[in-house]
Structure 1
Amino acid sequence: MVWFLSSSNNSNNNKYMPFHSVWSRRNKRGLINIIRWLVITILFILFSFLVICRLELNARLYIRQWITPSRPVQKEPLSSTCFGNLTHDTSKPPKTYTYNFVPGIPVWEEYTCYDYASLLQPLPLSSSPVMTTFHTTWSSQNSEQLTSAHLATFQSFCATQPLNSSQLILWIHPDDEDKLKTDPLWKKARNDKVRYQVYTENLTVGTPLEQQTTSTIMSDLELVKLAVLYHHGGIWFDLNTLFVRDMTPLLGHEWIAQGNCQSSMSGNPFDNTGLMHFYSKSSSICELLSGSTKPFNNNKNKIANAIFSPGSTIKARGTRGPELYQRIYHNLLRNGVKPWSTLPWCFTNPSQCKSSNSLPSPFVQANFSPLRLRQIFAFHFSSPPRKQQAPSGSIYRYLEQYQQW
């Protein structure tokens, strides 16, 4: 061991000290200073990074491969009722259309989606226009009566859709008919283009639901939606939607709207969708109805379902909503059938992307670009204002004045 002579005037016992002890004492303060400046430097770099760059996290949670090992994809047979003969077009003769509304470049970057949407404009009025029916539903279980936001939906429809080729039907449960008739806001909304209709078990006639011994259509709005589109065709939209301009350019395809721009890269593109368009007696809608009655044997998620959804009964009745749409979409592809199109996110869900290219909610006070708003077709909002609050917001007020409700 190396010893160091101390210059201290202490007793003889402290005259000699180990060298490493002296070094530690003399450099302890220097080490603390180094750590202090290192922390300051890291904080400065982090602060500069956040000032210069915008951080957007789109995190997704996935179960580990060893928990849910992948298995070969199973191809489900198509319904013989909907696709009895696949040697020809199983739906209808090919539809003539003018626009292809699926751009060949990514639509989540900058304002690509909006600029592409602006290219789709209505054609000159035809001497014999085809009637397009818009469908939606209202239930007193969701709100005791219609709200001002619902009234704005009806008013925006009347202000934007062609008078001679469009109509709106509000589908309601028989128990809600009296409430709707006496609702003061419904009295303001109804006119020659807007009416209501009561749905019954008759909607199952001629559909795959007719073969079920116990129909649940009266208590399942998802089945009501699909059955209505199968019988009548047209556009189904959630009631929390504001129409911005004429939807005619989108009628050349069957489609379901994309819920958000992130699903262009991964995930279910039909999550949070609020609008869809299908023709009457569509084979795709028929297959969706058939798929809603069949439990989906997805073995690869057996362990995950047992962990996260113990006791779940959804498989016993078949899938619903976005899960059903994605399942049938991929199954049509596996069976060599062209499925419906996916409407790009900004056409109807312009608030569901990055903060740099999304529009704010219609019911908040925020800056927005009127140009970008006029490029979209509709605004599907996920959280309508409370019943007791009068609708307000920058986009809401702009549409109110621009469309002269």
Structure 2
Amino acid sequence: MYDHTSSTPPRWIPPSRWLNMRLRRVFTFLKIALPLVFFICYAVWYLYEPHGHIDLVFYEREWIQREMLPLSPLGGCFDPERVSPLYNVSETVHGRKRFEVQAGVTMRMGMDCYDFAGTVKFAEGEWNEEQRYIPPEQRAQFHTYWRVDLASLGERQEYMLKSFFATQDLPRSRLILWSNGDLSFNPIVRKYLELFPDSFALQVVDIPELAKGTPMENHRFLNLEDEKAWLDGDLVRLLVIWTYGGAWIDMDMLLTRDLSPLLEHEFVTQWDCYDKIYQALNGALMHFHKHSPYLCEAFHLMAHSTPPRSPSTDWGAILYLRLWRRLLSESIPPFKILPFCFSDPLACRLDNSVPEPFEPDRRDAKWTGRRGAGLEEGGALDRALGKIFAVHLHNRWDRAFPKGGWVDRLLLKRHEEEIGRRVRIDGEL
């Protein structure tokens, strides 16, 4: 190895010495460059508020061109002669509503979304006045679904049932638990059937029967399913609400307050606060009336599209967006879209999402100091949970809630206490 940096005649340098010379130069550069980079980054962080969200999803361009961008005509479900007499278009679609559930902006800043959710409420004592007995079939219907062949219904699934019976107006509500098998012998299910016989019912899904009278009747896609219960779950969700009307609640949700103020609207929810271009909408919490033409159009779109990918949200988030765009293209007021925090407060920025539910509370949690008391009872998180309607846990069935964590303290224990109180009052009447 020759030294070419010297003005003297070339001389031989051992490779090990040459390598050491190069390494010393690199180390010298790093000693100067690293502190400089650190100083620049700190200065930028101190002077500016960085924003960013990395969520890489790859979509095939051919699929986008074929499925997402074209706007095929609607199926005519809103034509007056085709609308069911059970569905009042003037009142449901065009009628004046009491509450506004769409803000028109993303509400990513601070507590804006939670504060907006707090505006959707009845006046004190307005909704709970005494009323005559309402037969179960005439109450507000709520639906959920569990596939017994994938997993047994256990304690984690019971949390959703508890949250329903602790937060909803039971004299006016009924929850129907749908499944693809008999759940009547499950001890958890039997307990709630005995405690709330007029507010809880079981149904076994018969997809071909539910599809009768829809564009999906006898369709070759009716038997599609996957190991995650995405395709069949999304189909069951729409068929059940079409047949019976009401609200859908996924089993991986914990309700935090009464859903009644939302039920004057037909709606799906926002997937998160980032407005994913093709997956902006979510049906984990949704509400439509019986024989809604919105659902009729959804079935028309399903029946006349290519087969859904498996597993995928082609019959969920993708379908809702495709339908929403078609409604706009034909000047039909679309269904509402609830802001992310109404049911999915885990899905936004690091500084305004609720804390991770499956990790122990941290003393320096981001909610500490926000309008006082942090994660404690009556604190900022507690008040926010009282404004929104649910916490969507996105499956994660294998994770346990930490003992004494905020989910345990602010939700689960309160649900248990409220159910006990309601049962005692019921027994005294």
TM, length-normalised to structure 1: 0.76
> Does 2:320 align with 1:270?
no
| Equivalent residue, structure 1, for 2:75 | 79
Q: 2:142 aligns with which of 134, 141, 164?
A: 134
| Equivalent residue, structure 1, for 2:191 | 188
Letter paired with 1:278:
F
Report the Cα distance in structure 2 between the residues aligned to 1:359 and 1:286, rounded to whole angstroms.
36
| Equivalent residue, structure 2, for 1:154 | 161
Q: 1:249 aligns with which of 248, 251, 261?
A: 261
Q: 2:294 aligns with which of 284, 288, 294?
A: 284
Q: 1:41 aligns with which of 18, 31, 36?
A: 36
Report the Cα distance in structure 2 between the residues aligned to 1:41 and 1:357, rounded to whole angstroms.
32
**Residues 150 and 288 from structure 1, CA distance in 2 versus in 1: closer, same or farther, beyond 3 angstroms?**
same
8 Å Cα contact 2:176-2:202 kept in structure 1: yes
Letter paired with 1:199:
V
- Structure 1 runs of 4+ with >4 Å offset: 29-35, 47-56, 60-73, 85-91, 126-130, 389-392
8 Å Cα contact 2:278-2:321 kept in structure 1: no
| Equivalent residue, structure 2, for 1:168 | 175
1:145-191 Cα offsets, whole Å, 9 max, x none, are 21212111111111111121111001111xx20xx222222222323
SS in 1 for 2:175: strand
Which has the higher mean CA deviation after the structures are superposed, 51-60 or 150-159?
51-60
| Equivalent residue, structure 2, for 1:119 | 119
Letter paired with 1:374:
G
Q: CA deviation at 1:249?
A: 0.8
8 Å Cα contact 1:293-1:318 kept in structure 2: no
| Equivalent residue, structure 2, for 1:94 | 91
Letter paired with 1:249:
P
1:174-225 Cα offsets, whole Å, 9 max, x none, are xx20xx2222222223232122111212111222122536742788232211
Letter paired with 1:223:
L
> Does 2:367 align with 1:371?
no
8 Å Cα contact 1:78-1:287 kept in structure 2: yes
SS in 2 for 1:257: strand
**Residues 86 and 76 from structure 1, CA distance in 2 versus in 1: closer, same or farther, beyond 3 angstroms?**
farther
8 Å Cα contact 1:91-1:283 kept in structure 2: no
Report the Cα distance in structure 2 between the residues aligned to 1:216 and 1:353, rounded to whole angstroms.
35
**Residues 35 and 204 from structure 1, CA distance in 2 versus in 1: closer, same or farther, beyond 3 angstroms?**
closer
SS in 1 for 2:303: coil
8 Å Cα contact 2:143-2:248 kept in structure 1: yes
Letter paired with 2:346:
S
8 Å Cα contact 2:83-2:293 kept in structure 1: no
Alignment gaps of 5+ in structure 2: 1-7, 10-23, 227-231, 366-374, 376-380, 420-429
| Equivalent residue, structure 2, for 1:3 | none
Q: CA deviation at 1:277?
A: 0.6
| Equivalent residue, structure 2, for 1:354 | 349
Letter paired with 1:92:
V
Report the Cα distance in structure 2 between the residues aligned to 1:197 and 1:158, rounded to whole angstroms.
18
| Equivalent residue, structure 2, for 1:327 | 322
Alignment gaps of 5+ in structure 1: 1-12, 15-28, 297-311
| Equivalent residue, structure 2, for 1:395 | 407
The percentage of counterpart residues that share the same residue type is: 26
Report the Cα distance in structure 1 between the residues aligned to 2:58 and 2:388, rounded to whole angstroms.
37
Q: CA deviation at 1:49?
A: 4.6
SS in 1 for 2:264: coil
SS in 1 for 2:341: helix
Coordinate RMSD, CA, aligned: 3.7
Report the Cα distance in structure 2 between the residues aligned to 1:356 and 1:138, rounded to whole angstroms.
33
Number of equivalenced pairs: 355
Report the Cα distance in structure 2 between the residues aligned to 1:238 and 1:244, rounded to whole angstroms.
14
Report the Cα distance in structure 2 between the residues aligned to 1:235 and 1:51, rounded to whole angstroms.
46
Report the Cα distance in structure 2 between the residues aligned to 1:150 and 1:119, rounded to whole angstroms.
30
8 Å Cα contact 2:71-2:325 kept in structure 1: no
Letter paired with 1:148:
E
Report the Cα distance in structure 2 between the residues aligned to 1:97 and 1:276, rounded to whole angstroms.
17
Letter paired with 1:102:
Q
**Residues 336 and 270 from structure 1, CA distance in 2 versus in 1: closer, same or farther, beyond 3 angstroms?**
same
8 Å Cα contact 2:308-2:314 kept in structure 1: no
1:330-351 Cα offsets, whole Å, 9 max, x none, are 0111112111010000000001
1:67-111 Cα offsets, whole Å, 9 max, x none, are 99979953312113x233499998623234210111244411111
Q: CA deviation at 1:132?
A: 0.9
| Equivalent residue, structure 1, for 2:103 | 103
| Equivalent residue, structure 1, for 2:217 | 210
**Residues 195 and 364 from structure 1, CA distance in 2 versus in 1: closer, same or farther, beyond 3 angstroms?**
farther
